[in-house]
Amino acid sequence: MTDVFSSLATCDRETTRQIASVLHCRRQDPDQYRMLRRFLAAVDVTAGPLLEIGCGSGELLADLADRAPTTTVVGIDHSVDLLRMAGRSGGAAENIRLLAADAHRLPFAAESFPTVLMYTLLSHTPDIRSVLREAHRVCRRGGQLAVLDGDYASTDFSLGPHDPLNACVAAWRARYVVNTHDLRALPRLLEAAGFQLVRTGAHNYTATHSAYAYTIVDRGVDTMLGSGTIGEDLARSLKNEARRRADDEGFVGSITYRFALARRHPSPSAAGTASPRA
């Protein structure tokens, strides 16, 4: 099954609308937003232009434009429909430029950007290495790359063994995340692309009552319903169970997110010393 995000360039309007609503929901989640702000605080956004690869409907772009009002912020995504939505919301800010492009083949000259960001892009691109090589090509010498992404193999919505909500999570992951484990090797992947690692870290996101966490259960349930694995009654019960847990147990689920800040080598001679390990 293909990752929905990796096929957004060609999918129908309804799927795009649903994805935009999930992305918006995620930004409204207080713990998710705290994590995003901490990520942004670690990035020097004063040197422009900034590039976000995989900007979607512009949830992060709006923050970038606010934090760097005098800097040009460029957002690229392969979904024209999501870019249109970005243009209608935060993308209306004067310093934002939006462009439809594939992360594997960026339409920019080498060394165009002092700062490149990716926020939950790599988990959805089948060829992480080629995306990172492209990011390296367009990043200026001495410039920075900042990555924040989900280690979605860690997603756990269980309160005990054989918990049916984890079956929903597994169905969600199979449909929405192509790279379930690769983010664990992010430091090595960055070095292999030619970057020097500056800092890495992880954040444990725990959902208590969270509309975003419900979208994970709901999308997993809808996937199982669509494939005929379960029927309408069980689908309804599983969705209700996630909401009940928020009220009664104070826990819906948790996901580890991984963060990395890296630099492109400042001198041409050092740039070819990518580690051969990954």
Min separation Cβ 238 and ligand SAM, Å? 23
Scanning 123-210, the segments in alpha helix (DSSP H) are 128-138, 164-176, 186-192
CA distance 90 to 64: 10
Residue number with CB closer to ligand SAM (40 or 230): 40
Residue nearest to ligand SAM (CB): 56
User: Considering only CA atoms, which of 85, 131, 83, 123 is closest in space to residue 106?
Assistant: 131
Q: Answer whether 180's CB lies under 8 Å from 265's CB.
A: no
In this structure, is the dihedral angle defined by the CA atoms of residues 173, 177, 178 and 181, taken in order, positive or negative? negative
- Considering the rule CB under 6 A, would residue 113 count as an interface residue with ligand SAM? no
**Pair of tokens at residue 46:** 């004063």
Stretch that binds ligand SAM, among 100-108, 152-160, 182-190, 234-242 (CB under 6 A): 100-108
Per DSSP, 244 falls in state H
User: Considering only CA atoms, which of 116, 119, 87 is closest in space to residue 100?
Assistant: 87
Residue number with CB closer to ligand SAM (23 or 262): 23
Min separation Cβ 152 and ligand SAM, Å? 11
Binding test (CB under 6 A) with ligand SAM, winner from 120, 166, 215, 223: 120
Binding test (CB under 6 A) with ligand SAM, winner from 125, 144, 179, 215: 125
Would you say how long the chain is, in residues?
278
Per DSSP, 9 falls in state T
Min separation Cβ 10 and ligand SAM, Å? 11
Query: Of 146-205, which residues contact ligand SAM (CB under 6 A)?
Result: none
- Considering the rule CB under 6 A, would residue 79 count as an interface residue with ligand SAM? yes
CA 179, 122, 139 angle in degrees (round to 5)? Answer: 150
- Considering the rule CB under 6 A, would residue 115 count as an interface residue with ligand SAM? no
Query: Of 8-67, which residues contact ligand SAM (CB under 6 A)?
Result: 8, 23, 54-56, 59-60
CA 15, 212, 4 angle in degrees (round to 5)? Answer: 30
Binding test (CB under 6 A) with ligand SAM, winner from 45, 50, 73, 82: 82
Stretch that binds ligand SAM, among 37-45, 98-106, 179-187, 219-227 (CB under 6 A): 98-106
CA distance 127 to 14: 26
Min separation Cβ 183 and ligand SAM, Å? 13
Q: How many CB atoms lie within 10 A of CB 71?
A: 18
> What residues line the site for ligand SAM (CB under 6 A)?
5-6, 8, 23, 54-56, 59-60, 77-79, 82, 102-104, 119-121, 124-125
